[in-house]
């Protein structure tokens, strides 16, 4: 016979137990713990049952069973040592449509008591359909070794997070994926490590320490996040993000995560680099999973080298998760290839900001003259257009070389401005984050090539000679 496994809500429901000996005592205790309104009928009772009656936890009737005892009862347990009486209780309950369990008498049971592994609201029930209670008990003992007591608190925490996600009204499929990740063994090991500062071992699995993930957020569109980056963001304990990471991406952070803006914009600093390093080390040392979220790719002008050095010196585990660098998002906005083999022999990434006191020559010193095809230059965070134009012109770049400024690449606010190297100093500043692309590959970009936003042409492009 196939059984239907369910967990019943008994709070406030009348449940009857016939018999108050050792076996009946265990059944009564389980019903009390489930919040049932327990009635007990028995001529004699164990001291524990007598105490429950004295404190009002149960109603005890010191007499033999009468069929009227079943009136208004939701379920009944026959736990006497008299087989005939237990069978009689079962028959009377059957006539009234009341669920009955005659202890150790499978043919006279509507339901069986499973062996239970209980960790608070987490319950694991084991049943052999009455064939071998001894096997069920052995399996229970084995499972009790596998499931730490801390599961009780963890289940409550998962419940709070789940309710928070439903209140946010997020996409059901995304919510399902996130809840599965939060319930992973890895996440429990992190939770367990915090609960046990000494760092014990559970079974064969060692407890995971805190870790920092240096994650690239891409140019701005949440759909350009990598799957790994999204998974880590959805399950992080702490998210330390740059100022230019879009709100749409931050919406994917776990609702239980602490989200901190540590970014810099226009020279304004919320946190110094030293303070950011200290935050990463501190949270990881507290056995938390930290996502250091950076716009674009973390290894391109993201000060990741300094952060890696700080993490190594502190002995903190870390991992770099690449992202789509903003230059690629900007090129996609322009609809051009940065390395068109017919037009450009190389691509150079440079930044419009350098460390204070750094007067070294930048990549713009690469000449555009000679027999080789000229490179394409991408300038991150351009601010001084005149300086870029002057440096490139001095290196032999022609004034008619196309230039494209892309603001908020890949987002709904994306704006592009197409001009030439000679006219670059006169164009208006677009909103950050922005990039500047310089090179003849832009000659293939029509004025309508932007995927979204607006395109402005300050001067018709001069065809390449």
Bridge pairing between strands 454-457 and 415-420: parallel
- 242 is an active site residue: yes
Say whether 358 is catalytic: no
110-114 long-range Cβ contacts below 8 angstroms, 24+ apart: 111/75, 112/3, 113/27, 113/30
143-171: string of b/e by CB count within 10 Å (b at 16+)?
ebeebbebbeebeeebeebbeebeeeeee
Q: What are phi and psi of 69, to 5 degrees?
A: -65, -20
Q: Which residues contact 417 (CB under 8 A, 6 or more apart)?
A: 404, 405, 407, 427, 428, 430, 455, 456, 458
Between the alpha carbon of residue 411 and those of residues 302, 305, 333, 453, the distances in Å are 20, 28, 10, 8
Of the candidates 242, 294, 297, 434, the residue annotated as catalytic is 242
- Cβ pair 304, 294 in contact under 8 A: yes
What is the full DSSP assignment across 399-457? Answer: TT-EEEEEESTTSTT-EEEEEETTTGGGSPPPPSSEEEEESGGGGG--TT--SSSEEEE
CA distance 40 to 20: 7
> Residue 381, class by beta-carbon neighbours within 10 Å (0-12 exposed, 13-18 middle, 19+ buried)?
middle
The active-site residue, picked from 105, 153, 228, 264, is 264
The residues assigned a catalytic role are 242, 264
């Amino acid at each position: 016979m196939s059984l239907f496994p369910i967990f019943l809500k008994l709070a406030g429901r009348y449940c009857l137990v016939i018999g108050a000996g050792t076996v009946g005592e265990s059944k009564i205790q389980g019903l009390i713990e489930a919040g049932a309104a327990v009635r007990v009928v028995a001529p004699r009772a164990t001291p524990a049952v007598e105490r429950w009656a004295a404190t009002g936890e149960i109603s005890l009737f010191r007499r033999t069973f009468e069929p009227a005892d079943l009136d208004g009862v939701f379920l009944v347990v026959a736990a006497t040592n008299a087989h005939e009486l237990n069978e009689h209780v079962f028959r009377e309950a059957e006539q009234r449509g009341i669920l009955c369990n005659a202890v150790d008498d499978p043919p006279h049971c509507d339901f069986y008591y499973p062996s239970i592994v209980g960790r608070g609201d987490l319950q694991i029930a084991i049943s052999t359909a009455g064939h071998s209670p001894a096997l069920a008990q052995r399996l229970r003992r084995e499972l009790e070794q596998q499931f730490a007591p801390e599961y009780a608190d963890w289940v409550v925490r998962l419940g709070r997070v789940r309710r928070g996600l439903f209140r946010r009204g997020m996409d059901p499929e995304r919510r399902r994926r996130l809840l599965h990740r939060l319930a992973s063994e890895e996440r429990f090991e992190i939770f367990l490590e915090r609960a046990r500062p000494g760092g014990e071992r559970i079974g064969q699995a060692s407890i995971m320490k805190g870790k920092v993930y240096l994650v690239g957020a891409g140019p701005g569109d949440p759909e350009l996040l990598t799957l790994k980056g999204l998974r880590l963001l959805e399950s992080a304990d702490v998210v330390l993000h740059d100022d230019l990471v879009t709100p749409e991406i931050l919406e994917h952070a776990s609702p239980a995560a602490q989200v901190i803006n540590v970014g810099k914009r226009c020279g304004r600093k919320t946190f110094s680099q030293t303070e950011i390093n200290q935050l990463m080390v501190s949270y990881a040392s507290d056995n938390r999973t930290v996502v250091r979220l950076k716009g674009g790719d973390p290894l391109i002008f993201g000060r990741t080298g300094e952060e890696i050095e700080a993490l190594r010196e502190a002995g903190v585990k870390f991992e770099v998760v690449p992202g789509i660098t903003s230059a690629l998002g900007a090129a996609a906005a322009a609809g051009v290839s940065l390395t068109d083999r017919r037009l450009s022999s190389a691509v150079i990434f440079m930044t419009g900001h350098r460390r204070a006191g750094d007067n070294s020559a930048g990549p713009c010193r690469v000449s555009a003259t000679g027999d080789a095809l000229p490179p394409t230059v991408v300038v991150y965070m351009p601010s001084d257009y005149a300086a870029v134009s002057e440096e490139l012109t001095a290196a032999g770049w022609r004034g008619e070389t196309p230039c494209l400024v892309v603001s908020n690449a890949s987002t709904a606010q994306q704006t592009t401005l197409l001009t030439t190297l000679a006219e670059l100093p006169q164009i208006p500043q677009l909103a950050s984050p922005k990039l500047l692309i310089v090179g003849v590959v832009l000659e293939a970009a029509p004025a309508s090539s932007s995927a979204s936003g607006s395109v402005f042409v300050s001067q018709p492009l001069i065809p390449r000679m």
